[in-house]
């Protein structure tokens, strides 16, 4: 089978030069141009199949690059066309997977973006397989052996820290049920917010604490500062800025928490002034 003249590099160059200087409409009216595009579809059919598209798309990409002056003056015009067609097919395939334009797909070159997936494409729930929804708890095992360097041999995890602070409040005149309710309420919000300062603002804004504990708003603010830490500049870098929960989690025994006499006075003054437990009637 005899190949057409434009199948060679020089033959393609001559045809592209003829079409470029033949004036407007040459590509639409020239029989050789039509034959060239048919030849191009056959030539790049395998490449198009590789990237999941049609040969006509490959021919369209070839047509765009064949009209450029840089292709006509290149040492090997077919090499330029082949490279450009492959890049175009790569980015069109990429755009199809990312659900964006081929221009945007070119901008993502080198970035590790995965193709878009429909929820229905998998039988399992997204939370079961996507790493963004995986959470690995770092909380210490409450039943693990106590560390050797922990004061009094007590494990310093969140559960024991909470109990330590409850004991502290009870020793300063708080009813046990009130102290437990207050600490669990604050600890639950801290667990949800992640940071003491965010939990403090959230609890202060919500305003349910004073009603639950039957204490004044000023007393509730003092409790929050004592438990979550006081952000006042005067206490920066001191144990007061850490808050009782953090100190207890760091291993401070309840006896050492009484060293701050100012904090002791704050917690004592904030205690409910009755002996009934939350939920009981008070007369």
What's the pLDDT score for residue 281? 36
Distance CA(250)–CA(256), nearest Å, equals 12
DSSP state of 21: H
The interaxial angle of helices 217-228 and 176-193, nearest 10 deg, is: 60
Q: What is the mean pLDDT of the chain?
A: 77
pLDDT, tens digit (0-9, with 9 covering 90-100), for 232-270: 777 776 777 888 888 888 877 777 788 888 888 989 998
What's the pLDDT score for residue 131? 59
State the pLDDT confidence band at 143, using cuts at 50, 70 and 90.
very low
What's the pLDDT score for residue 149? 46
Place of tokens 């369209």: 60
Helix and strand numbers (H, E) in the chain are: 18, 0
User: Which residue, among 55, 79, 81, has the nearest Cα to 67 in the 3D structure?
Assistant: 81
Higher pLDDT, 118 or 229: 229
Q: Is the model's pLDDT at 78 over the cut of 50? A: yes
Q: Can you tell me the mean pLDDT for 162-187? A: 89
What's the pLDDT score for residue 126? 58
Q: Is the model's pLDDT at 68 over the cut of 60? A: yes
Place of tokens 């409040």: 169
Distance CA(274)–CA(178), nearest Å, equals 11
Most confident of 85-94, 214-223, 272-281: 214-223
Distance CA(81)–CA(58), nearest Å, equals 10
Burial class (CB in 10 A: 0-12, 13-18, 19+), 23: exposed
Would you give the distance in Å from CA 154 to the centre of its chain?
36
Q: Is the model's pLDDT at 122 over the cut of 50? A: yes
Q: Is the model's pLDDT at 130 over the cut of 60? A: no
- Which are the contacts of 247, defined by CB distance < 8 A and separation ≥ 6? 239, 257
pLDDT, tens digit (0-9, with 9 covering 90-100), for 86-109: 988 887 877 665 556 555 545 454
State the pLDDT confidence band at 210, using cuts at 50, 70 and 90.
confident
Distance CA(38)–CA(35), nearest Å, equals 5
Most confident of 116-125, 127-136, 144-153, 155-164: 155-164
Burial class (CB in 10 A: 0-12, 13-18, 19+), 135: exposed
**Other C-beta atoms within 10 Å of 30: how many?**
15
């Amino acid at each position: 089978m005899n190949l057409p003249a434009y199948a060679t590099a020089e033959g393609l160059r001559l045809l592209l030069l003829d079409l470029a200087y033949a004036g407007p409409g040459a590509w639409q009216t020239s029989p050789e141009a039509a034959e060239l595009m048919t030849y191009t579809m056959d030539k790049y059919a395998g490449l198009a199949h590789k990237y999941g598209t049609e040969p006509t798309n490959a021919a369209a990409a070839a047509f765009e690059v064949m009209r450029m002056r840089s292709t006509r003056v290149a040492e090997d015009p077919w090499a330029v066309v082949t490279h450009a067609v492959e890049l175009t097919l790569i980015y069109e395939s990429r755009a199809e997977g990312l659900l964006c334009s081929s221009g945007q797909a070119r901008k993502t070159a080198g970035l590790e973006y995965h193709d878009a997936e429909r929820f229905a494409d998998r039988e399992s729930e997204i939370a079961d397989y996507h790493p963004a929804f995986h959470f690995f708890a770092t909380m210490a095992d409450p039943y693990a052996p106590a560390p050797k360097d922990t004061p009094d041999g007590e494990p310093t995890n969140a559960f024991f820290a909470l109990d330590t602070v409850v004991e502290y409040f009870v020793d300063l005149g708080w009813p046990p049920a009130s102290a437990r309710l207050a600490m669990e309420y604050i600890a639950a919000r801290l667990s949800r917010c992640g940071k003491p300062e965010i939990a403090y603002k959230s609890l202060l804004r919500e305003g349910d604490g004073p009603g639950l504990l039957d204490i004044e708003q000023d007393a509730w603010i003092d409790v929050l500062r004592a438990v979550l830490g006081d952000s006042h500049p005067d206490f920066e870098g001191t144990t007061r800025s850490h808050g009782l929960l953090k100190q207890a989690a760091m291993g401070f025994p309840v006896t050492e928490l009484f060293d701050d006499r100012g904090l002791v006075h704050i917690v004592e003054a904030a205690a409910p002034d009755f002996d009934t437990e939350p939920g009981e009637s008070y007369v």
